Structure 1
Amino acid sequence: MSVVTDEFVQLSENQKLVRNSIQDICDNFDHEYWRERSAAGEYPTEFVDTLSEQGWMGALIPEEYGGAGMATTETVVMMEEIAASGGGFSAAQAIHGGIYNSVPLVKYGSEEQKERLLPDIAAGDTSIQAFCLTEPNSGSDSTSIETRAEREGGEWVISGQKIWTSRLDVSDYAIVVARTTPKEEVEKKTQGISMFLVNVADAVEQGGLEYDQIDKTASDFVHSYSVYFDDLRIPGENILGEKGDGFYQVLDGLNEERLVIAAECLGLGRLAIDRGVQYANEREVFDRPIGKNQAVQHPLADVYARLQSAKQMTYNAAEQGEDATDLGALANMSKYLASDAAFEAADAAVQTHGGFGIAREYDVERYFREARLTRLVPITQQLVLNYVSEKVLGLPRSY
């Protein structure tokens, strides 16, 4: 149970229901569970299966296909609570893809694709956890991807390499973004990119898909991979939406997802502050709890205020949704503020623990590593500032 009060945002009845339901599930997975998953580098299968069995993987799938039909106003609550429960940012990321990778199928899939896959995804029997976009030579410039998909008869043939593809090891299907028209043949570099649905098991069996795990220092139990496509053949009907519109499809819904990332950062920050406050109240030095010292109090109070500020912006933006004057700016700034607040909160928690701040048994070192990661993904803080500079302040484009 959290020792930190967090009641400054007024929740709707639906949001309260989501919060309470998620808290009930998370209460069954204590700090020791997450510590063990982190130490072993094991995906939290039991946790994800529990959420799946109770229908949470279908949060954004319409009710007509067996989903919950939720909106961003509910998913921000859901993902914040998961991160705050003890698992941190990584726990939220363990299911993030499974929830949000269904959105392209909902929006752009054919009726046959939706009827065939969405009910099973909503029931937790099928997953689309992996999204293959980033490449070694393109980074954040998605228009420069080199992976190609060429039509041959009734099939698409995909070749290329992706990097930092997460959860491919636990995904039944992957969404793959590839160029279907060379850049030299389109008017704008944002054109000629398409999205495809790939059956992972079939791709591996035919020898058209291989992947290697990346050794990394954050999100220990959510694995990321370098992915190699070598003349992978998929059915022609596995394209999502119209050929050449993939880049715009990727952008569509990006603001809502960015708000959910911000909420995950908020949950991580809450978790770090909570552990810092607990330790400050329990740890005694010179016959007094260290929490009596302002040098310990002030950093925790400062980051708590920053976290609440970020939360107000995030939840306000989620509530406004598409009716916002500039949802893109609100979503980007929410992510920026929440990432920084999470990092400062994790840093304060580590400092509060002193030497034990780097001991794995106290968990805060993991929160610190995760919080540093949030400043890089899914968009760097610098790219957010670029967006605000250009789109909000009217400054010239810098790249």
Structure 2
Amino acid sequence: MDFNLPESALAVQEGVRAIAGKYDQAYWDRCDTEKRWPEEVWQELVEGGWHSLAIPEEYGGAGQGLLELSVALESLAAGGAGGAASFMYLLTPAFGGLTIMRHGTEEQKREFLPKIVSGEIETCFAITEPDAGSNAINITTQARRDGDHFLVGGQKIWISGVERADFLVLVARTIPAAEAKPRTAGFTVFLVDIKDAIAQGTLSYQPIPKLGTNTVASSMVFLDDVRVPAERVLGHVDQGFAVMWDILNPERILAAASGVGFGELVLQVACDYARDRAPFGKPIGANQAVAFPLAKIKAQVELARLMTYKAAWLWDRGRPCGSEANIAKLTAADAAWQAADRAFQTHGGMAYSLEYPVARMFRDARIAKNIPVAEELVLAHIAQHELGLPKSY
């Protein structure tokens, strides 16, 4: 058993940290206030190949794995990006790159992967629906065959990054839920050309006003008989449930990596303030009431890091990792939230001032307890599959 990161991951850690170090908290505050994508950082990641680490070398990538991708995301978050880092590694590197790499045909890989590597193509993911929420089995977006195409109709909600993406990795039903036997049958995953569908008037979207994570928009997406060529199916028709889960597990692992890095960053901000603030003649960090909660959160972050690396290691080896991915996401999200909450308390009244980044961090950290899966559903999964308790939903 070796707990040292491989040389490849250490190089990633160093390279991404160097990029993150060029951008201070004022930069991330501006991106959040202006509700704009951190384009400068994204371009540096693309130019250095830090976004395409897990894409095989034959398509222009680095030929590494989800572990290195997780370390990159963690490093970007810890280096200053915080919650804004998450979608920079989920939208295109994971939803597009990993999914096409694992489930695309050879033709799809040669068409899309080199363009993802070069930055020509960006992607996003659409599964959640207004009336289904976390219950993906109940999605109603339908795709029906029409010759060499499928016609896709329905609504998706909380689709992040659609405003800048070229392709939408979309989950739809090709067999209605009432007719599917078993219930997990009849799902199909499509690559939808967003700009073409908008030009045809069959796809539109409406951004949703949000509390935080404003460096990327999240939208309601409307699909009105969007025409998708049959060769744009990822995996097999009616057999997309396995593809869907192979998207969701890496999503949770990367979300966990984001939580670990975010927690580390927020702890640094809180500790810097606790060392400098001395209203009674000595730093407030000398008081155990301030120091001990921060120390406890440090322990939580380190434990979450271990489980995140384990889950990524398992995924890279093709081994089952559902429970590990869920546990990593659960613990990392809670560690990031506890860190943000404690940083807020450590700053006292100054936490309310927008001159400090803690208000933004507080807003951004909270959502991780709800997405990409609510912690209650994670706990239900652990109770059933790890403890053998009766199914609760």
User: Fold-level match, TM-score > 0.5?
Assistant: yes
Q: 5 Å matches for 1:65-104?
A: 65-101=59-95, 102-104=97-99
User: Which amino acid is the alignment partner of residue 393 of structure 1?
Assistant: L
Deviates more, 1:165-174 or 1:291-300: 291-300
Give the distance between the partners of 2:229 and 2:315, measured in 1 at CA. Answer: 36
Q: Quote how far apart the aligned CAs of 1:241 are.
A: 1.6
User: Residue 179 of structure 1 aligns with which residue?
Assistant: 173
Query: Which residue number corresponds to residue 189 of structure 2?
Result: 195
Q: Distance in 2 between matches of 1:321 and 1:233?
A: 33
Contact 2:208/2:219 (8 A) holds in 1: yes
How far 1:208 moved relative to its partner? 0.4
Q: Does 1:377 align with 2:371?
A: yes
Partner of 1:47: 41
Deviations 1:259-304 (A, max 9, x none): 2211110111001100000001111202222122222111111111
Q: Deviations over 1:58-105 (max 9, x none)?
A: 222111111112212212211111111111122232332110012221
Q: In structure 1, which of residues 3, 10, 15 is the aligned counterpart of residue 4 of structure 2?
A: 10
Match of 1:355 among 334, 349, 357: 349
Find the counterpart in structure 1 of residue 110 from structure 2: 115
CA distance in 1, matches of 2:233, 2:20: 37
Out of 229, 232, 245, the position equivalent to 1:251 is 245
Distance in 1 between residues matched to 2:334 and 2:9, nearest whole Å: 25
Question: Which SS does the other structure have where 1:105 is aligned?
Answer: helix
Q: What is the rounded CA distance, in whole Å, between the counterparts of 2:235 and 2:113 in structure 1? A: 16
Q: Does 1:158 align with 2:152?
A: yes
Distance 1:247 1:325 in 2: 17
Q: What secondary structure, in the 3-state scheme, does the structure 1 residue paired with 2:155 have?
A: strand
Matches of 1:173 and 1:324 in 2, distance apart? 26
1:35, 1:361 within 8 Å by CA — same for their partners in 2? no
Question: What is the aligned partner in structure 2 of residue 38 from structure 1?
Answer: 32
Distance in 1 (alpha carbons) for counterparts of 2:155 and 2:132 = 11
Per-residue deviation at 1:234?
Answer: 2.1
Query: 1:132 matched to which residue of 2?
Result: 126
In 1, Cα distance between equivalents of 2:351 and 2:269: 11
Distance across 2 between alignment mates of 1:226 and 1:324:
34
1:307 counterpart residue number: 301
The alignment covers a number of residue pairs equal to: 391
Q: Tell me, which stretches of 5 or more residues in structure 1 are unaligned?
A: 1-8
Report deviation, 1:313: 2.3
Q: Structure 1 residue 369: deviation in Å?
A: 1.4
- 2:100 is matched with 105
Q: Which moved more, 1:255-264 or 1:209-218?
A: 255-264
Which one-letter code corresponds to 1:38 in the other structure?
D
Does the 8 A contact of 2:207 with 2:219 survive in 1? yes
For residue 205 of structure 2, the aligned residue among 188, 202, 211 is 211
Q: TM-score, normalised by structure 1?
A: 0.94
**Structure 2: distance between partners of 1:310 and 1:303:** 10
Taking structure 2 as the reference length, what is the TM-score of the superposition? 0.95
Judged with a 3 Å threshold, the aligned counterparts in structure 2 of structure 1 residues 319 and 186 are, in CA distance, closer, same or farther, namely closer
Structure 2: give runs of 5+ residues left out of the alignment: none
Q: Is the 8 A contact 1:23 1:85 kept in 2?
A: yes
Matched to 2:109, the amino acid is K
Deviates more, 1:248-257 or 1:266-275: 248-257
Which residue pairs with 1:262 in the alignment? Answer: 256
Structure-2 change in CA distance of 1:342 and 1:195 (3 Å)? same
Q: Is the 8 A contact 2:66 2:316 kept in 1?
A: no
Residue in 1 that maps onto 2:327: 333
CA contact (8 A) 1:175 1:197 kept: yes
Letter in 2 for 1:110: T
Partners of 1:115 and 1:325 lie apart in 2 by: 26
Q: Distance in 2 between matches of 1:326 and 1:161?
A: 32
Q: For the Cα contact (< 8 Å) 1:48–1:95, is it kept in 2?
A: no
How far off is 1:322 after superposition?
6.3
Q: Which amino acid aligns with 1:166?
A: S
Report the more deviating stretch, 213-222 or 302-311: 302-311
Tell me the equivalent position of 2:283: 289
Q: Classify the secondary structure of the residue corresponding to 2:178.
A: helix
1:221 to 210, 215, 218: 215
| Structure 1 residue 152: Cα displacement | 1.1
CA distance in 2, matches of 1:243, 1:50: 37
- Correspondence for 1:277: 271
**1:46 is matched by which residue type in structure 2?**
E
RMSD: 1.7
Measured against aligned partners, the alpha-carbon deviations of 1:7-32 in whole angstroms (never above 9, x if no partner) come to: xx632211110100001111122111
Whichever residue aligns with residue 251 of structure 1, its letter is: W
